Chains A and B, each alone.
Chain A
């Protein structure tokens, strides 16, 4: 089956620094990728839709200048958490799939971000 690779698996950073998370589709081209965040014991919350070659679409309440998304190729999308603060500590997950009705969406293994 299709594989979505996410890197890094975990990252610890100091408050005020920026962190980049990569999401790759390994055996298919993804025109659309999604980014989620998940707090402990909560469900996944969709943050933004990443579209290849165009600007990402952010969900209501998600700061686009805080969470920069770049989808420069059909196999790679990146999420950069800028000027990270402790409240940004969370589990970030990306997803991608072949777009269409009845197609499948696959998820990366997630990135645990801890901001000190």
Chain B
């Protein structure tokens, strides 16, 4: 499965949009992009996933570039409870191993 690269940390003002980038330049055509987040001492929480098209759900939006080599997770109105480590993962199939990178530690500032 493709490796991902994320900035180690980011800050975002409360109420503003948080844009978290992920680079997956070696992604193959049938690999999906998944985003999870982990709040301290809890299991990772599913946020969103996509293949080619942009996706939106009640939590976030996922923007995937046309060449699929990078993506951005958007939290439209960040709250203090969104402070967490966000992981971008690329995989073909949920039956395959999910490998976590180092993720981005997002801090939402009041």
Say yes or no: A110 contacts B100, CB within 8 Å.
no
CA distance A43 to B100 in the complex (A): 7
With an 8 Å Cβ cutoff, the count of chain A residues facing the other chain is 31
0/1 per residue, B70-109, Cβ < 8 Å to A?
Answer: 0000000000000001010000111101111111000000
Segment with Cβ contacts to B, from A11-19, A77-85, A101-109: A101-109
State A101–B93 Cα separation when bound (angstroms).
Answer: 4
Which residues from B are CB-within-8-Å of A31? 95
Asked if residues B43 and A109 are in contact (CB atoms below 8 Å), the reply is yes
Bound-complex Cα distance A110 to B43 (A): 5
14 A-B residue pairs with CB within 8 Å: A1-B46, A4-B43, A6-B43, A34-B98, A43-B100, A43-B103, A44-B44, A46-B97, A99-B93, A99-B95, A101-B94, A103-B93, A105-B46, A105-B98
Specify the chain B residue showing the minimal Cβ separation from A51.
B95
In this assembly, does A69 line the interface, its C-beta being within 8 Å of a C-beta of chain B?
no
Whether the Cβ atoms of A101 and B32 lie closer than 8 Å is yes
A residues touching B (Cβ–Cβ < 8 Å)?
1, 4, 6, 31-32, 34, 36, 43-46, 49, 59, 91, 93, 95, 97-110, 112
Q: Which of B36, B98, B103 has the most CB of A within 10 A?
A: B98
Known contacts A44-B38, A99-B94, A110-B41, then 15 further A-B pairs from the complex at CB < 8 Å, ordered by chain A residue: A4-B43, A32-B95, A43-B87, A44-B44, A46-B100, A59-B97, A97-B94, A99-B93, A100-B94, A101-B92, A101-B93, A101-B94, A107-B36, A107-B43, A110-B42
B51 within 8 A of A: yes
Q: Find the B residue at minimum CB distance from A43.
A: B100
Question: How many Å lie between the Cα of A49 and that of B98 in the bound state?
Answer: 10
In the bound complex, what is the Cα–Cα distance between A1 and B46 (angstroms)?
A: 10
Q: Please judge, given known A-B contacts A100-B94, A101-B30, A102-B32, whether A43 and B102 are in contact too, CB under 8 Å.
A: yes
Select which of B44, B93, B102 is within 8 A of A107 by beta carbon. Answer: B44
B94 / chain A contacts, CB cutoff of 8 Å:
32, 97-101, 103-105
